[in-house]
Amino acid sequence: MKELGLWNGSFNGRESTLQQLAPYIGKLKSGIVRSLIRHFTKPGDWILDPFSGSGVVPLEALLLGRRAAATDLSIYGYCLTRGKAESPADIDDAVARTGRMLRYVERHKSDFDLRSVSEWVRSFFHPKTLREILAAYEFCHAKKDYFLAACLSGILHHQRPGFLSYPASHMVPYLRTQLFPREVFPHLYEYRPLAERITKKIHRAYRRSLIVKKWNRDSYDIRLADARRLPFECNSMDFVLTSPPYYKALDYARDNRLRLWFLGEPDWHKLEERLTTRVGTYESEMKQCLAEISRVLKPGSYCAMVVGEVRKNGKTRDTGTILGLSAHEASGGDLTLDSMLEDEIPAVRRSRRGTSTTRTEKLLVFRKTLNSTAKIISHA
């Protein structure tokens, strides 16, 4: 496993640009994912990520000729994951789909009464831009076009000219009116046409797509579902590769609240309550996830988890050690810790630079025993 020294340096210049459809805090590095998939699997194998987030694992699996299964509780994670799996095979197809969406926007942008939009959402956009965004997402919902919805989410907010909002941060939606006051930067508060921005976004996505053929639905199975109750058959997965939530290190719902709103999740607080990140219930909920991972994993196969040590409010919680000690019990003795590698995260790769929340990550590799007695239970 000599390729695993990939925490250092950037893989952005080599990975598929489809991995960059939209930002996601704390996502796995595609170079690490690619190396692990090559090491543990062969073409045609089913690879599961039960916490798919931005869909890095499923896309790398598909690009390498494997089959991808994934779940996520967040509609944003589900949209990004499915959007990557359902990306058009080439730029011409992507541009054609975008054209159909933009024609719909032209016909329907005046249909929307902005008084029905939450005030905090309205504060991010010029009214004309907002009507176009609403029409575009309506098209995506109606057509179940997760690729275009993911691309829209990728340009939803930032202060740069190629984005749709008033000046705002990119990863987490906060207006930056103090840094860019309207009276000093009036051009940043003007109408921003959707058409030119989404078209340029599509072309950026296909600079280096690496897709060699269109994937059919037999190649992937992506669900909006809970990792504590996986909707897959017993002994059906050849490899599990995931990065589960750390001990309340990131706020996955709050930090994506604006994108969630447009994707149909207006109350991010409700989603936050359902996510497996709360300190009080984290260990018990992760044991449920480990039990489910063991159930769907084939005997003799492996599960690899990238987890981090969390330092917050004067306390340190080593997620890797917690999960390493929990897996055997949670799986009824079926999962055994095979190996554990630790690496320090360079400051430039931390989700929030300058903080000490997560400084080290561990790669845990579990193996499911060959003589597993797991009961065949279907949650499909």
295 and 229 within one domain: yes
Listed residue (36, 292, 263, 307) closest to 137, CA to CA? 263
User: What would the pLDDT profile of 301-310 be if each residue is shown by its tens digit?
Assistant: 999 999 877 6
56 and 40 within one domain: yes
Say how far apart CA 331 and CA 291 lie, in whole Å. 5
Domain that holds residue 268: 2-86+224-368
Residue 352 scores a pLDDT above 80: no
Say how far apart CA 145 and CA 140 lie, in whole Å. 5
326 and 248 within one domain: yes
End-to-end Cα, the chain, rounded Å: 35
Question: Among positive and negative, which fits the CA dihedral 113, 116, 118, 119?
Answer: positive
Confidence of residue 277 (pLDDT cuts 50, 70, 90): low
Confidence of residue 7 (pLDDT cuts 50, 70, 90): low
User: What would the pLDDT profile of 159-171 be if each residue is shown by its tens digit?
Assistant: 999 999 999 999 9
Flag whether 348 is in a domain. Answer: yes
349 and 238 within one domain: yes
Say how far apart CA 241 and CA 110 lie, in whole Å. 45
User: What would the pLDDT profile of 26-51 be if each residue is shown by its tens digit?
Assistant: 889 999 999 999 999 999 999 999 99
Classify residue 22 by its DSSP letter: S
Confidence of residue 319 (pLDDT cuts 50, 70, 90): confident
Tally the domains of the chain: 2
Say how far apart CA 250 and CA 269 lie, in whole Å. 14
pTM given for the model: 0.90
End-of-domain residue from the set 174, 205, 236: 205
Q: Residue 252 is which amino acid?
A: Y
Confidence of residue 376 (pLDDT cuts 50, 70, 90): very low
149 and 43 within one domain: no
Residue 270 scores a pLDDT above 50: yes
Residue 349 scores a pLDDT above 90: no
